[in-house]
A = this chain, B = another copy of it.
C-alpha cells in the first residue's frame, strides 16, 4: 500500500465528519477473544516452534486450511501450490518482483485499488487502464486495446491485474462469460493474470462466479487472498496460489519470511473453526450496512447522481453530475460532515474526476445516514 498517499488523504478526516473513506473493516467484528485464545494455544502447544525461525506443524495447519478453502473454490493442488505472505499487498509485490521489469506493460481496471497502483509504480512499469462497467472489466474494450497495441507494433502486456469479485473501488463483479473471455485473450496475447480475491469471501447476496484461476488451463493465473477483511488487517497475513513453477519463482524472490507466530495463531484459529464461524456474522453486518447505504443514497441523492449496486465487498462507487470535481469537493464535504476517497486516486491515468468511492463497512448505520446527507448537501453546494 502506498502509505504516504494514504496518509495524506487520511488527514482530511476530521473528528466531526463521518468517514466513508477507508476500506476498514468494522472493528466490532474483530475477534479479539478468539485471537487471544488461539495465541494461548499455539504458545502452549508449539511455542518453541512458532517463535523460532520458520518450520513446524503450526505452519502446516494454516497451509492445510487455506488449501482446503482454495480447493473448495476449485483450485487443483496437483498443479498448483500455495505461498503464505505478509498480507495480500506483499503477495502482489512478490509477484511483481518475480515477473515484472521496468518498461513492461501492466493492465489494470480503471478504476482500481489505489494501494496496488503505488506498488506497481515502484517497478517502473507502464500501467494501462481498461474501463469497468456493471459486470466488471469491459473485456471487449480490453480486446480492442490489445489489438490496437499489436497493430501499432507494441509489446503484449506482461500481466493483467484484476479484482473480479466485489471490486475495489466499484463493488462490481466480473461475469462468468467475461472471465472466460479474459482467459482467451490472455492465451492469445500471452500475458499472465494476477487475480486479487481480497473480497471473495465477502459476498453478501450470492457468491461470485468461480475464480479465474480455476478456469485456467494454461498456467497463467495467480490468485491472491487476504485475511484482512475476514479476520483483521492488523494480523497482516495473506497468500497466493499459483501454478507450481510460478509459485517457485515467487518463493525465490520473497524476502525475509513471514510472521511465524501469527501463522501459528491463525492456524489454531482456523482449526478451531473460528474463521468459518465468523463469516456469517460478517456478511450479515455488512449486508445490513450496504442495504442501509443504498437506501440512503436512494432517499437522499439528487436525481442526476448514480452509483453501483454491489453484491459484496466494501464499496459503492458514485458518479457525480457532470462538472462536479470530487477532489475540489472533498474539503467542503469534510466541513459539511463527510469524507470519501476521490475517484482520481483509483485511476492509473487522469480519469475519475467526477466520481468517488464510499465504504459502507467501517461506520455505524446512523453515521451512514448522516454521511449520505452531508454528501447530498455537498453535491448541491458544488453545482
* Chain A residues within 8 Å of B, Cβ to Cβ: 1-4, 10, 22, 24-25, 27, 30, 32, 35-36, 39-40, 43, 47-48, 50-55, 86-90, 92-93, 97, 119, 122, 228, 232-236, 251-262, 264
A10 — nearest CB in chain B belongs to which residue? B55
| 18 more A-B residue pairs beyond the given contacts A51-B232, A86-B259, with a C-beta to C-beta distance below 8 A | A2-B252, A27-B47, A27-B51, A30-B51, A32-B47, A35-B261, A36-B43, A39-B39, A51-B235, A52-B232, A97-B122, A119-B256, A122-B252, A234-B261, A235-B259, A236-B261, A236-B262, A259-B262
A257/B89 in contact, CB under 8 A: yes
Contact of A259 among B22, B88, B236 (CB under 8 A): B236
Contact of A36 among B39, B90, B233, B255 (CB under 8 A): B39
A233/B260 in contact, CB under 8 A: yes
B257/A259 in contact, CB under 8 A: no
Bound form: Cα–Cα A256–B94 in Å: 10
Q: For residue A326, give the distance in angstroms from its CB to the closest CB of chain B.
A: 22
Main secondary structure of the interface of A (DSSP, over half): helix
| Total identical chains | 2
B contact residues around A1 at 8 Å (CB): 255-257
19 A-B interface contacts by CB (under 8 A):
A1-B255, A3-B251, A3-B254, A3-B257, A22-B53, A30-B52, A32-B51, A35-B39, A51-B233, A51-B234, A86-B256, A89-B256, A93-B256, A233-B260, A234-B264, A235-B261, A236-B256, A236-B260, A259-B262
Bound form: Cα–Cα A52–B24 in Å: 7
B234/A53 in contact, CB under 8 A: yes
Bound form: Cα–Cα A36–B228 in Å: 22
Bound form: Cα–Cα A228–B260 in Å: 12
Q: For residue A170, give the distance in angstroms from its CB to the closest CB of chain B.
A: 20
Bound form: Cα–Cα A89–B257 in Å: 8
B35/A52 in contact, CB under 8 A: no
A48 — nearest CB in chain B belongs to which residue? B27
Bound form: Cα–Cα A50–B93 in Å: 23
B contact residues around A48 at 8 Å (CB): 27, 30
B236/A258 in contact, CB under 8 A: yes
Q: For residue A36, give the distance in angstroms from its CB to the closest CB of chain B.
A: 6
- The interface centre, meaning the residue of A119, A122, A261 with most chain B CB atoms within 10 A of its CB, is A261
B32/A52 in contact, CB under 8 A: no
Q: For residue A278, give the distance in angstroms from its CB to the closest CB of chain B.
A: 13
Q: For residue A21, give the distance in angstroms from its CB to the closest CB of chain B.
A: 11
Bound form: Cα–Cα A238–B315 in Å: 34
Bound form: Cα–Cα A139–B380 in Å: 70
Q: For residue A120, give the distance in angstroms from its CB to the closest CB of chain B.
A: 10
B contact residues around A234 at 8 Å (CB): 50-53, 259-261, 264
A253/B122 in contact, CB under 8 A: yes
Q: For residue A50, give the distance in angstroms from its CB to the closest CB of chain B.
A: 5
Bound form: Cα–Cα A261–B259 in Å: 11
Given A39-B36, A43-B36, A251-B4; A87-B51 close (CB under 8 Å): no
Bound form: Cα–Cα A252–B27 in Å: 28
Bound form: Cα–Cα A285–B95 in Å: 42
- The interface centre, meaning the residue of A30, A236, A264 with most chain B CB atoms within 10 A of its CB, is A236
B36/A40 in contact, CB under 8 A: yes
Q: For residue A53, give the distance in angstroms from its CB to the closest CB of chain B.
A: 5
Q: For residue A114, give the distance in angstroms from its CB to the closest CB of chain B.
A: 13
